[in-house]
Amino acid sequence: MPIYMRYRVLMIGFALSTTLASGSARAQAPRIPSNEDESKAGDYALPDPLVLQNGSKVNDAETWIRKRRPEIVRLFETNMHGRSPGRPEGESFDVFDTDAHALGGTAIRKQITIRFDDRKESPKIDVLMYLPEKAEKPVPLVLVLSFLGNEKLAPDPAIRLSTVWDRKTMTKRRADESSRAKKNAYELDQVLARGYGIATLCYTDIEPDFPGGTAYGVRPLFFKPGQTAPAADEWGAIAAWGWGLSRVMDYLETDQDVDAKRVAIVGYSRLGKTVLWAGARDTRFAMVIAGGSGEGGAALSRRNYGETLKHIKANFPYWFCANYQQFADRPADLPVDSHMLISLIAPRPLYLATAEDDRWADPRGEFLAAVAAEPVYRLLGARGLETTDMPPLNRPILHTIGFHYRPGKHAVTTYEWDRYLDFIDMHFSKRSAREN
């Protein structure tokens, strides 16, 4: 039995949190102690995102874009997420369902299957999309990478039932009529009400989330003859999930009803880690919204607080490339840290959501990473958090980088969605687009 399955699995699921993006259970690692005392988080020096590997300083946007940014992308590829392939030649989109009067006539529904080759047994992604019927097209879109099957978004009998890989039993589970949502998810109603489209896909369509899951996902489609596992600097599971988001973007660029230049990607927890890397790599995403992303996401790895690289190596090594594992006991030697991941998203808007009781994800470590990425945002003419003091609870900061720290646990609540939408309004609404 894989190690992570032996650990206590903690379901976080009070009513508000059972939204589409939060259907995850958290595996914790009680055997490796974790620190939750701020005074023991340790001293560390962060690599300067604005100094090239040859030691010279980056003083202008051009040098950042031409030299430093690609350098940092390569460092993440080599040491953390691994290299991912580009768009597959055999990619195809099948819009198998369109309804111009869905959800009681308020929305347009589309369902699309994205295929990567023409073999029947290959993985494929099913995307479900609702666009506000009345809104002027093309509309900005919120693209949610979900733990759950598409039928959990709305009790709409036309939604294709999913087949989702269960990460605990490591088996495929086919949804049936009883799996359908009993009511619209909060985010569906709110996103449409504010005039945006929403699209969702389940991450296990791309690759299941357990050790050995590689065999059932997209990565083998790119193996060289005789290759049976990714090389030490080739993509891990998170990079594969992020690659899947880029394939959805390939489709969105072909859809006349969607403004592909205003697409926000949203993910929570491990899927928060995923949207950060997806947005870092693929600059077609205009906005990244990552909640509770923690270690391997927005939290600084050099801080000894909550989950650390050691825990990741013990519990979820397959999320990252093999080269990453060597840093488990020496995070200070990692040539990158999360502030550099954030800087790759600059100058595009990035929102980080954290919660007081989610110490495992190190909320302060996420805040400090955003602070350390600010010089890059500023260099590119955008606004960082503009403070070095962690904001109090329930006092979100909404600049080009947005951040909130709310009371409560690791979960997606209505508080998250309301703030996300305020942030989206700020950057995507017609008025703000004109002002920018």
The residue (of 49 and 291) whose beta carbon lies closer to ligand GCU is 291
Least distance between ligand GCU and beta carbon 254 (Å): 31
Distance between CA atoms of 67 and 140, rounded to whole angstroms? 31
- 270 strand-pairing partners: none
Helical axes 186-193 vs 414-428, angle rounded to 10°: 20
Nearer of residues 374 and 416 to ligand GCU, judged by Cβ: 416
Q: Quick one: how far is CA 377 from the chain centroid?
A: 20
The alpha carbon torsion through 162, 165, 166, 171 (nearest 10 deg) reads: 120
Catalytic machinery residues: 269, 410
From the list 265, 307, 294, the residue with the least C-alpha distance to 353 is 294
Q: Could you report how far apart the first and last alpha carbons of the chain are, in Å?
A: 53
Binding site for ligand GCU (CB under 6 A): 24, 26-28, 269-270, 294-295, 307, 315, 360
